[in-house]
Structure 1
Amino acid sequence: MDPLSVSAGIIAVLQLSSKVVGYLHDVKDASKDRAKCAIEAANLNSLFTVLRFRLEEGNSHTPWYTAVRALATENGPFDQYKQSLELLQSRMTDKGRLARPGNALVWKFKKEEIASILSSMERLKTLVQVALEMDHFKLSLAIKQVTNMAHSNTEAIKDDTGFLRSSLPILESKVDSLQDEGELAKHRKLVAWLSPMDFPAQQSDIIGRKQEGTCQWFLDSTEFATWLQQPKETLFCTGIPGAGKTMIAAIAIDHLLKSVQSSSVGVAYVYCNYKSKMDQNAGALLATILKQLVHTQPSMMGPVKRLYEGHTSNGTRAPIGEISDALRAIVEKFSTVHIVIDALDECQNDDGTRSRLMNQLQALQLRNDLRIMVTSRHIPEIIEEFSEAHRLEIRASDDDVRRFVAGQINHLPKCIQRDAALQQQVQEKVTQAVDGMFLLARLHVDSLCDKKTKSKVQSSLKTLRGGFQALDKAYDDAIKRIDGQLPGDAALAKRALSWISNAMRPLTTTEITHALSVEPKQEDFDPDNVPDIDDVVSVCAGLVTIDEESNVIRLVHYTTQEYLEGIQMDWNPTTQLELASICLTYLSFNTFRYSTEEDCSDESWIKQYALLNYAAQHWGHHARTVQPELCELALSFLQDEPLISCASRAAVFGTVLQGTNREQTCLHIVARFGLQMLLEKLLSICKEDQRSLINEGDCGGFTALALAAEHGHESVTILLLDNDTEMEFFRNSTALYVASREGHEGIVKLLLQKEPNVRSKDEYLNNALDVALSAGYERIVLQLLDAGADVNRQCKGFEHTLQLASYFGDEQIVELLLDRGASINKVGGEYGSAIQAASRCGHESIVRLLIDNGADVNVSGGKYGSAIQAASHSGHESIVRLLLDRGADINLSGGRHGSAIQAAACGSHESTIRLLLDRGADVNAECGPYRNAFGEALDIGEERILKLLLEKGSNVNVNTLGGFCGSWLNRLAFEGHTDVLRLAYEKHHADQSSQDSHSRNPLHFAARGAHLDTFEYLMSLGLDPTAEDAKGDGLLSYACSGGSLPIINAILGQDLPSLEGSNWSPLHWACRGGSSAVVERLTEEGFRGKCITVPEPEGKWCPISIAIFHGEGEMIDHLPASCKSLLGAAVDIVQIEGTGSTRFWCDGCFHVSDQYQTI
């Protein structure tokens, strides 16, 4: 089966899977298993898409392809998954056919059946993830074993993953990185730590609501096609409220995931939400983009792992600067990245979130092929920001509206369903009225739900109007329908809508039903008073909807939120008091007085009391404006230590702080929320212990003052300062630090005024200066410098303040530091100098500013050696030109990469390499760990860069003094760069007789790397197949080590000497490699298991001993008995028992043992 056949099989599975996911969205009265199936199928779709493109783009002769083909064999993993999909389809439909109009799809599964289906999905997902990461000939054995294991539904997923880990050898670095049983779990843990946001679930829910056939105009548009094809393109999609912008974004994302995403093309997306403003800050949004890009790319996790290790031990989140660095490193690994941002207008900008997000993405776009698509309402400042982008207006077409209305007929009264002519009237009248606004179409359709006769329907159709006034009227009508219900239903709807529109974050269905169950003075949770979510939705007149995948209840549109905010003072003026009272009543339940620390970390316990987490996190936000009315209830809660303890722990559930000791006092809590009146009451109650309470720190050392400062509550800060005139400066310094970090200028001023001897507290001042510089708060930096902070101090991670400010790219702050006497050429730290830091991050204006103020363009030091190396490594061509124009030495050596052209080669920046060569860079300059630019490019493996360097005169006949391959030609052969080798030998004078210092030639490494096409090409050139290395190993031994049966057959057909002598035989190497097919082939050829003595571990070793020692017992078990008997006796097995799991390298493991040069 060729790769295209496998790819075609994947496409067929994707098509069937998409249908099944569509059915899953339409199922009526399903259990949560339905959502699990939909999510797992959607996740597999994404992985299949990446695998498909990997197959179509790569070299079909590599052993990895042979292994992957086994996925598509009869009764293999693909077949098993297809059978699961067909079972899902047949059970939900009439033997695969859609239900008749009016008949909903029904869930007909038993739990054990779904458990079996989910188990098979998880097994296949694990296999595909490992296949995408591990390009190794041994994958075939793993697939075979997992296929057999899949027949047992009781087998744990953990055991499957463990088998894969143990059955894949560690002969290549990629395999090394994932050899442990828990490596995949670690990968998932890292990904989950990056961001809790689940945009894929939201995407699945939105695309599941798409009406068949709608929005095709967008996919066919010239603007969308141009965006897909043009590098560094931005597509700005505007539309009136309710035009369908979010659906268009979902359709674009769906197209990218299915047709564009691959191992080299990344896709990420963000759904901005007005209800998630507290969570959707710039750092969090960049983190979720990073999360999506690395989700199926374990090999790219290095930058994320460093972030994780740097913050988990302290229970902190990575700051935006570090997240941006990691994202930059990941984006550079892709050839192209597409990012879709929906509803940018819903992204808050009061704190600069929207500006920071777009500034970071646009900075990335300058240096990489990053293609950004944004949807937004017509907000002038946003439109101005995208004035140079391609623009597309989004509006609902008449055909789309008709299709939408036709798809809703089954939900309308029977008088419409049974009258085709009336259906036509409904479609035409609604389409005429909505004027391109999908939302209005939905509201108009919902307005017909209570019209039970043809006459009433027709009368209602006559009143339909279009435009924004019609939208307000539609909302007015919905409120009238709510108020016109039975009193209990109307009250339930009003409470539900008040909760949804005023909640500090989106609520799940269980959270809102628990909130609606709470009665005044209730003492404990009453499960019998929890309303059914379907009843809640039904009384809200179409104004709310449920996202099935995330189980979140929300308003149907942002304009619904705006409407409800507009009528709240008239319709329900006591909303905040009601919400705060419900939260406090819930937090005061007797059950929570007896909760333990383990309870508050137990997901099942938290789910049992669904509102606890929200109430603990947000009761104070609802209470801030109603403190007098709430005083008695709040003080009762705040003076109950067991309740405070439970709330403090529950508040951090699901965050990086979960499980830590979160004991806080009542003062900590009211200070964090900024509740001044309640703080005054508590201080008066605790007058005797007032000073000790004010100075008491929580588990993180944060006092009430620090918490007030962190959250920007000036009035509470003043109150605390006034009530403790002898406040310890250590506590004050924590407040100064967090206020500086969060940009609260007024509080910084208050704290500096409070401490008369602040100039003697250098350490605290300077720590505050670090975070203010990192965040770009110029006025706070100025205050701290005026208070005596050291302008030339060493900062965390940077040698000095100017270097830090240059790295983060704030020009005003750089100017301020220079005006205050910052040392412009001070050298040290990872980034060497200020100009190197600015060059690395692409801040051209700062590089220019530094040069104009006397910066030395050739100052040496740091990771990159010089500014021109830093700019070249990142591909900042304009900065490279600027530096060269201002006198930078183009061949200056030093740093990690040796020279500018080597740094550019490492970064795979073709145009930067051409610029440097045009300006006189030496393509063969020898310096750095990789000797020259060709060596750097070879380490990265980018063929286009290798070919460019060869065309520009790079010397390929370089023998390295160390390393596994020994020469550039050997490494090209080992990695299968046949086209580059062809270019080198045929046009650029590569030496066909070359050998490295161990007497190895490229043929050895083509065989060891298992690249048949490379091997055949080198044989055609006449390279010597009889050559042996310095240890005496010949070509057949290298081929057996590589495990390629076609190469072994080709060598055996040449009738070459086996070169066994006193060394390992080819059969030893075959057993070390673990390929049963190779072992069988050698025994057929007459090879037998002789014993060889090696010094480490000392003893005599037959082929079978080598296999057992290196954990290849499974392979031995699968050999025929007649073959196994020819591998020799397991000599010294007792001596070596148990060491195989350590993967100990014995003397014979290396073809050349000099200094144990590993593979």
Structure 2
Amino acid sequence: MSREMQGELSCIKNVVEDTFLKKLLAWLTPLNFSQKQQEILGSADPYTCHVLTSKRFKLWHEHDLRSLWCWGAPGAGKSVVAASVYADVTKRYAAKNVAVMIGFCSFEYKESQSPRSVIASFLKQVLQTRYDKQAPSKLKEHYSRAVTGADSQPLSLEALTDLLREELNTRDESYVILDGLDEVSNLSEGDAMVKAIHNIGASVKVFITSRHSEDITEAIEATQTCKECHDSNAEVYWRSIDSAFLLARLHVDSLVECLTMGALRRALRDLTGDLDQMYTKSLERMEQSLRPKHYGILKKPLLWIAWGQRPLSISELGHALAIYPGIEDIDEEDILPIRQIATWSAGLLFVDGDDFLRVIHPTTSRFFEGRRHELYPKGDSVMAHDCLHYLNMKTLRAPLEGPDRRSLFIIRRNQYQLIDYAVLNCFKHVARSREKGEIKPTVEFLLSDALKPFIQALHYVDAEWTDDTDASALHVAVYFGITDVVSKLIDEGEDPNARDSFGATPLMYAAARGSDGLPELKGLLEAGADPALICNFGSTTLIRAVKLGAVTLVAELMRQTDININATPSSIAVHSALITATRLIDPSIIKMLVARQDIDINLRNRHKVGECTPLHAAVYWRNLPAAKHLLAHKDIKVDSRDLARNETPFFYSARVGLTDFMELLLDHGANINEQDNNSGNALMRAVDYDESEAVELLVKRGIDTTHRDVYGRTALHSSSCTRSWRSIEYLLHVTDLDVNLRGRSGETPLHDSAWKLDARGASILVNAGARCDIKNSDGQTPVDIVMLRNRPDILDILRRATGYIESARDARLQSSLSDAVIGDPSDVLRSRIAKAALQEIKASSAFAGTALHEACRHGRADVVEMLLHAGADMSVTNSFGRTPIDKAIKYGQLHCIKVLFKHDVDPERRLTSDGHMWEFACKRHHLDIALALVEAANVDKSSDYLQKALDGEAMDDKVAITRRLVEAGASMHRKVEAYPARDRDESRKAMEILEYFSTLDVDQPSSV
């Protein structure tokens, strides 16, 4: 290969790897603390920060002090100090193998208060500074499982900590700077944050800034293990910042109003260092200095600040302050000047650059929240009534009609700016209110014609809410957790078994809220709600509760006679209750399920690829306690097989090296000599991945080491083909395997190492006595293979082998047809294929398959056509059960698929492990291929990929295939990434699709 080509390939590889890393890091966490550090520091010079020259900082940075806590009053500039420390340490070690990480906790951003998210951000920062731009293999595996839908659960704090610790072990030094620890609102989360940071490595140096707090003192001290550690490793009291800018500002504001020297002296004498007292005095000054009417107006935005679910923009707040009982529409002449009102607040409120009304400091927000019951009693009640009045306006009670409802809602939202807040938070205020006066108007609202437009609006503003047509008042009340309203609606005769567009009941909504939904769930059960009902996706109340790990809900459901415990959902992402429970760390739920008399302990995961059993699932999720509970059941079938790979749980455990599961399953009677679809045994699959501990366990427990699979190959062949060097050495050392055993195609392990261009594997085999003069069915020796592939280094190794004869090689030595179709020019191949015997055309190697397989894999559509005319078999499978079209789908070769269809390939073929061909294409993210296959296939109505396909086709305005998918059962209502297909069409102006959707009944429930 030329240097230019090598350079181009290297560039391409770097671009691909860089793109992959960026996507992985974005998936890991959205937090970007490095950017925030730059924003905080701005154009300031970090090296003017006096902290950097202090004795304590030098003690931390240059000596053995591990943890340094820099605390000061609010507004004292602690974030600037943290950003300066980061800049200083980063500059010092710019050219060295040192990791420097920074984090900023903010009361306004929940994600930054999560220990898991902060540790994930530290990992992200460390990976961004790796020289090789590579992510750890374990993290790549988690990412791949996440993006393919195999695992929807995010990485745990423990898993992230382990990954970060492993990365930091490769660095010479590591530094963590964390700002704003006091802004973690949850005390236990703050403790967990400190603990997590100190757990990432004993040598990691930690710098923390915050307000002074005894809780933080205790959290930091808890990370020290002894008195000596306290003395030498942690400096927990350091008042590095004496000036409190915020207090100074409040003091100055209070002094401005002193008109005489006497008043000024008295004010100076009364100055306090207590922020809460200063805030209280600021409120008193407002009341004294403003006209009563003006102060009454100012109290309204202060109430929304104290009780609101989030900050409001000035346009939202303008509407909020214009509401009154019985209002029918917003009159622009009633909108108050919010910017002017903010100037009345003694400096506590301001309008930011995005036109949101905000408080001057996080402590100001905490002050209002902590004193809101005292300052503005019944705040939730006031806001709930205001939101109800707003939503009851005549214009907002009119439902949206027609196929362009999303566009109509956007127009409505622009006109009524408070609608988002009111829809999302009205009933949250009702639920949180201590008053009872909101119950009656809430019930009246939900039972009125205002319900339908409310549900439509909720559909557009809440990504979690899916229905836009058929949800009942009970569904809404349960969704928001308004327990008293739920009871009142039941008393009013609302059906506890009402169904939404997707067949879900209010009881299912309660379960979907996890443990928070227990009061509503109990009330509904008492009212006669049926927990055995299933939704259109085959899911139940129990499955929803189990999925969230809601132990209390599951315990309540266990008291019911019929809960449809063995229901199996049709959605690919949802599983039976028992299989779902195998993913939970807490074994309480699986213990309850296994104890039920009506449980099917071996229930297969129907409608899912593979249709595995609960025992398989427990092994897949590495849940040893769950496996033990399942194995303790009297009816368990320990050697049950899945339908994907035809594997038993023990076989899978051996393949991936789970020795603890292997021991457990063998102790419960698992058959050690079970075989897979290709008659391979567990030893052959364990060596595939060089799982040395599993290999040793299998040999010690008596597995047949001489076993041959359907291709006549042994475990030694498998380990040679997969470069599993430890396994090769172990098998040759402890067993009597013949190193020159031949497979069905005449190949020896040395042929495999030569074919894989594996110099180390070839050396091990040669040292063990492997011969190099044995020919395979193509008439090739290992020497021939190496010479054809131009590897003189491996040829030097083979010269030491028995049977090597130094002689001039046959100049006519020819590669196999499977190798030739990969790179030979088309005109050369046309001549060779025309002359080839049918036996050569159909010849199949153990792993690559036939020449047709290889042509499909590498996108040689013209060669595919030549091979088919020459008699190639489209139905033959390789060692992994793949036909040529499967290979074309896997590698995204649409042109090859079109050629195969011209020759009447079966469109209904179902892949063993990946569902139908079009589903396999969806899984591999080849949507263009999936949709081409859909046109020719009978689409399975239970397939969860229907929605993905519909979403893609509808956005591309392809009516024919869209109609095909809708007829098969895809829903134009169901959301994909928070939006249903119909709404995406409106935003993309896919007019033909919209016209087609308009011919359908827009209120028709989904048939999925």
Which category describes the TM-score, using the shorter chain as reference length? 0.5 to 0.7
**Alignment-mate amino acid for residue 702 of structure 1:** A
Distance 1:252 1:932 in 2: 59
Matched, 1:588 2:392: yes
Alignment of 1:590-629 (within 5 A): 590-596=394-400, 598-600=404-406, 605-624=412-431, 625-626=433-434, 628-629=436-437
Match of 1:714 among 503, 513, 518: 518
Q: Distance in 2 between matches of 1:380 and 1:927?
A: 70
Over 3 Å counting, the alpha-carbon distance change for 1:277 and 1:682 in structure 2 is farther
How many angstroms apart in 2 are the aligned matches of 1:441 and 1:882? 72
For residue 634 of structure 1, what is the amino acid of its counterpart? T
* Shift of residue 767, structure 1, vs aligned partner: 2.0
Structure-2 residue corresponding to 1:787: 596
Change (3 A) 1:886 1:1096: closer
Conserved in 2, the CA contact under 8 Å of 1:274 and 1:347? Answer: yes
Aligned mates of 1:379, 1:219 — CA distance in 2: 23
The alpha carbon displacement at 1:738 in A equals 1.5
Contact 2:499 2:506 in 1 (8 A): yes
Structure 1 residue 535: deviation in Å? 4.8
Q: SS at 1:815's partner residue? A: helix
1:751 is aligned to 2:557:
yes
Cα 1:328–1:202, aligned 2, differ >3 Å: closer, same or farther?
closer
How far apart are the structure 2 equivalents of 1:925 and 1:512?
83
2:485 to 657, 678, 682: 678
Judging changes above 3 Å, is the alpha-carbon distance between structure 1 residues 967 and 293 closer, same or farther for their aligned structure 2 residues? farther
What is aligned with 1:769? 578
Q: TM-score if structure 1 supplies the norm length?
A: 0.49
Greater helix share, structure number = 1
Structure 2 residue corresponding to 1:644, chosen from 451, 463, 486 = 451
User: What are the within-5 Å matches in structure 2 for residues 415-454 of structure 1?
Assistant: 432-433=242-243
Secondary structure at the residue paired with 2:503?
coil
Q: Judging changes above 3 Å, is the alpha-carbon distance between structure 1 residues 892 and 396 closer, same or farther for their aligned structure 2 residues?
A: farther
Distance 1:935 1:604 in 2: 67
Gaps of 5+ in 2: 801-805, 830-861, 867-892, 900-1008
SS in structure 2 opposite 1:717?
A: helix
**Alignment match of 2:547 (pick from 741, 744, 756):** 741
Corresponding residue for residue 621 of structure 2: 808
For residue 669 of structure 1, report the CA deviation from its aligned partner. Answer: 0.8
Correspondences of 1:854-1003 after superposition (within 5 Å): 854=668
Query: Which residue of structure 1 aligns with residue 664 of structure 2?
Result: 850
Question: Are 2:116 and 2:160, in contact at CA under 8 Å, matched by a contact in 1?
Answer: no
Verify: 1:564 aligned to 2:371, yes or no: no
CA positional deviation for 1:668: 0.9
Cα offsets for 1:35-71 (capped at 9, x unmatched): xxxxxxxxxxxxxxxxxxxxxxxx9966867999xxx
Deviations 1:991-1038 (A, max 9, x none): 99999998699xx99xx99xxxxxxxxxxxxxxxxxx989669xxxxx
Partner of 2:443: 635
Secondary structure of 1:207 counterpart:
helix
Shift of 1:704: 1.5
CA 1:885–1:950 in structure 2 vs 1: closer, same or farther (change >3 Å)?
closer
CA distance in 1, matches of 2:727, 2:181: 37
SS of the equivalent of 2:387 reads helix
Shift of 1:730: 3.9
The one-letter amino acid of 1:791's match is I
Opposite residue 586 of structure 1, the aligned amino acid is Y
Q: CA deviation at 1:659?
A: 8.2
Deviations 1:731-757 (A, max 9, x none): 79722221222233333333333x435
Deviation sequence 1:327-355 (CA, Å, 0-9, x none): 999999999999999878877989x9999
Conserved in 1, the CA contact under 8 Å of 2:451 and 2:473? Answer: yes
State whether residues 546 and 553 of structure 1, in contact with CA within 8 Å, keep that contact through their aligned partners in structure 2: yes
Change in Cα spacing, 1:478 to 1:391, as seen in structure 2 (3 Å) is farther
2:329 is aligned, of 521, 524, 531, to: 524
The amino acid across from 2:546 in the alignment is S
SS of the residue corresponding to residue 618 of structure 1 reads helix
Q: Deviations over 1:443-467 (max 9, x none)?
A: 778888889999999998988777x
Q: Which amino acid aligns with 2:601?
A: V
For residues 750 and 359 of structure 2, the distance between their equivalents in structure 1, rounded to whole angstroms, comes to 57
SS at match of 1:629: coil
Partner of 1:702: 504
Structure 1 residues not aligned, in runs of 5+:
1-58, 69-129, 136-173, 178-186, 229-233, 312-316, 399-431, 974-980, 1010-1027, 1034-1093, 1099-1140, 1148-1159
**Secondary structure in 1 matching 2:628:** helix
1:818 and 1:284 map into 2 onto residues whose CA distance is 36
Deviation at 1:516, TM superposition (A): 4.6
Q: What displacement does 1:580 show?
A: 1.8
Residues matched between the structures, number? 769
Change (3 A) 1:820 1:266: farther
1:868–1:883 contact (8 Å) kept in structure 2: no
Cα shift readout 1:270-315 (whole Å, capped 9, x = no counterpart): 876666669999999999999999999999999879866759xxxx
Q: 2:330 corresponds to which letter in structure 1? A: F
The secondary structure found in structure 1 opposite 2:576 is helix
User: Where do residues 302-701 of structure 1 align in structure 2 (5 Å cutoff)?
Assistant: 318-320=152-154, 397-398=240-241, 432-433=242-243, 470-473=274-277, 475-476=279-280, 479-480=283-284, 494-500=299-305, 502-504=307-309, 511=316, 514-527=319-332, 529=334, 534-535=339-340, 538=343, 559-596=363-400, 598-600=404-406, 605-624=412-431, 625-626=433-434, 628-641=436-449, 643-653=450-460, 661-686=468-493, 690=494, 693-701=495-503
The amino acid across from 1:650 in the alignment is A
Name the residue aligned to 1:426.
none
Q: 1-side partners of 2:589 and 2:562: how far apart?
A: 19
Q: Residues 920, 667 of structure 1: CA spacing in aligned structure 2 closer, same or farther, 3 A cutoff?
A: same
Q: Deviations over 1:602-629 (max 9, x none)?
A: 6565355343233222322211134622
Q: Tell me the distance in 2 between the aligned counterparts of 1:278 and 1:936.
A: 50
Partners of 1:372 and 1:779 lie apart in 2 by 38
Secondary structure of the corresponding residue to residue 713 of structure 1: helix
Classify 1:62/1:453 alpha carbon distance in 2 versus 1 (closer, same or farther; 3 Å): farther
2: distance between equivalents of 1:723 and 1:842? 51
- Cα separation, 1, equivalents of 2:718 and 2:324: 70
Q: Normalising by structure 2, report the TM-score.
A: 0.54
Percent of matched pairs sharing the same residue? 20
2:842 paired residue number: none
* CA distance, structure 2, for counterparts of residue 857 and residue 683 of structure 1: 55
Deviation at 1:571, TM superposition (A): 1.5
Report the CA distance between 1:839 and its aligned residue.
Answer: 8.0
CA contact (8 A) 1:583 1:619 kept: yes
How much does 1:697 deviate?
0.9
Distance change >3 Å, CA 604–CA 760, structure 1 → 2: closer
Say if 2:628 is the partner of 1:818: no
Q: What CA distance in whole angstroms lies between the structure 1 residues aligned with 2:720 and 2:253? A: 60
Residue 664 of structure 1: how far off its partner (Å):
1.7
Distance 1:557 1:839 in 2: 58
Q: Distance in 1 between matches of 2:443 and 2:222?
A: 48
CA shift, 1:670, in A, is 0.9
Please show how residues 126-275 of structure 1 align to structure 2 within 5 Å: 133=15, 199-200=31-32, 203-204=35-36, 207-208=39-40, 210=42, 212-214=44-46
RMSD: 7.6
Provide closer, same or farther for how the CA distance between residues 478 and 325 of structure 1 changes in structure 2, counting only shifts above 3 A.
same
